[in-house]
Structure 1
Amino acid sequence: MRICVVGSSKKFFSGISAYTIVMANAFAEQGHKVSVILLQNLVPLFLYPGRNRVGKGEYTIDFHPDIEVYNGMDWNAPASWVEAHRFLSEQKPDAIIMHWWTSSVVHMQLFLAMCCRRMNGTKPKLILEMHEVVDTLEEKIFPIRVYSKVGGKALISACDGYTAHSEEARQAIIKTYKLAGEKIVVVPHGPYNMYGTLDRKLAREEMNLNGFTILYFGMIRQYKGVSLLVKAFNNIPPELAHNMHLVIAGENWGDDTELLQVLDNTPYKDRIIFKPEFIPDETVPKLFTAADVVVLPYLRSCGSGVLNIAVAQGKPLITADLDTMVECLEGYGGASFFPAGDADALCDRLREAYDSWVVNGVQICRFTGVSWMDIVKKYEDIIGKMNKHQHVN
């Protein structure tokens, strides 16, 4: 098939950017003809919390050389939209997989959806892969909340089908957007196995780590529960904490208002490494290689790219017992859970992980999740059913 993937550019590099690249490459590796349309400038730069690192190119992954890439559409440049339309017309895809993660780009995505409807010949099937229901930061700002819901519903009505990363996310999307259940299919988040591992001893020496190392990796947002993790770490008995390190590494968007306070009040300042910055690709394997356990204390989740890095690296994982997280980690022997929002229970899981480390040493857990080959097959089935239904009608 001819597949077009629409996602975030590498200029505003994020998990969606990485996902777009890995997905496009997976389809190409399975023999499909792949093209990509990138949304390059997403918002006015002064509104973007990570504006200081935009365009710095701190990534190592890239598209397969056989993939045709249009880079890209700008939020305020309709001429770039026209060029995207021309590119789409030349590629003549059988299906378009469009990533939804923020309403800030919905006007560009709506334009592409309208272009699909006006293409000559057989219209491509438009599938919206929904990484979010509604972004929590956008939900708090009234004008953006209204724009998000209106724009989101308009885009959704223009699509032929939808995918979510878990059954919990699927049900939330059905409820929020009043979708027919048969139109939205669960397709698990693909593995992030593009990061290798390094020599553990050297990785730990470079970071000046000793003892049991706990890693939180990823964007620092209120709903990610990072302040909860610090509170749990603060409750570790001193005789254990002094043989531990807590590493917090990721871009801080500033809406976790408790975090700096709990960091200031911690009795273990010398045991916490706080790196509130965008982490370039070359540093990612060092962080995961050095860690003994990865902790994702999310208060809510529609899926997690970080989870998929940790699983691909075979790391023990502690995470909240959210339905999505439990579903995504089904069958993974390295996972343990605690009630979402419960700092005492998280502290207990940290102590259990430490005790296991003392007894068993460094643990590598077996990856049991779906492969990108499985995900491509799921999309082939979805598109095939859409075409069959069209012929029947």
Structure 2
Amino acid sequence: MKFLPLIIANIKRKKIRTVLTLGSFAVSLFLFGLLVTIDAAFYQGLEVAGVDRLIVSNKTSLIMPLPVSYKERLRQIPGVEDVTYASWFGGIYQDEKNFFPQFAIDTETWLGLYPEFIIPEQQWQAFEKDRQGAIVGRKTMKRFKWKVGDRIPLQATIYRGIWEFNICGVYNGTRKADDLTQFWFHHKYLDENTPFEKGYVGWYTVKVKDPDQAAQVSRAIDDRFANSPFETKTDTEKAFTAGFVKQFGNIKLILLSVGAVVFFTLLLITGSNMGISVRERTNEIAILKTVGFTDQKVVFLILLESTLYALVGGGLGLGLCKLFTLAGDPTGGLLPLFYLAADRIALGVGIAFLVGVTAGFIPALFAMKLKIVDAMRRV
């Protein structure tokens, strides 16, 4: 702490340079926070995927259906504990930008496969009795300011016409990463209004008795329906989610590439500023050595100054990013889990510290090797 006044005096020497250096760190760490938040949002399903759940879809394509008769045949496969199914609806609420996932579900089995979703028993019973009923995630309810009892119209995109639903309840999750943006309604309601699709579902979710036997059960399912008109492709829920994310491209590689460029540039900027600052203070460094400051103390002062730039600027950037993410998903539904976690903030602080130390290392080395006589000769 006794060196702090000296460091603060050096920082105040060139106020514009100080502001620009802090700003560079703030912008870079804000971008870092945004990148890791987007990365976490894309891969959120991998973190919460059920280890005992398999996804069974059409082998040709996910958009191709499977017969509803497969439900009982799947139950008969050894190792299978329970089965449910769902279909994608793809409706529009008021505007095409108002995206949120909508699933027609098998109400009799859905909650048994997804125990992480919590719904008041009274609301679920009301939903089961209302063929036009719907259960909506808490985040979507809040987003559109809906309430239980509202009647909601959706413009169908895959199917035809305006579909109306009665909101019977709201579901919550038991984990922070659970998706609370979904909209569920009766698959029977979908069947009644789409005679040409009746008897088909989008995909099945299978619960296995023993997660360690998931691979064997997957092979057994695909073998059971091999060479049939509707062959299947079975993956663990984690593998299925990962495959879905890959359709957007290699998100992680893109984010890492952008992040690496940003921090390399930041390292050059900070190193250059510290180098200029040390050269401007050559005579002062010589005086410090004259009055008894050792080479190690001089190095420590310069590294501390560089690190202070990094931590203050980086902390400002991460703080602003945290405030930005608190506002929720800026994409309107594409990234339902949009928040900056504490471990990623800690990672950002660690990176800022590392950049600060690295950027100040060469100027500190120059100051350490500086001889008092040579420094006094300079103007």
TM-score > 0.5 by shorter chain: no
Question: Please, what TM-score do these two structures have when normalized by structure 1?
Answer: 0.23
More helix by share: 2
In the superposition, the TM-score normalised over structure 2's length comes to 0.24
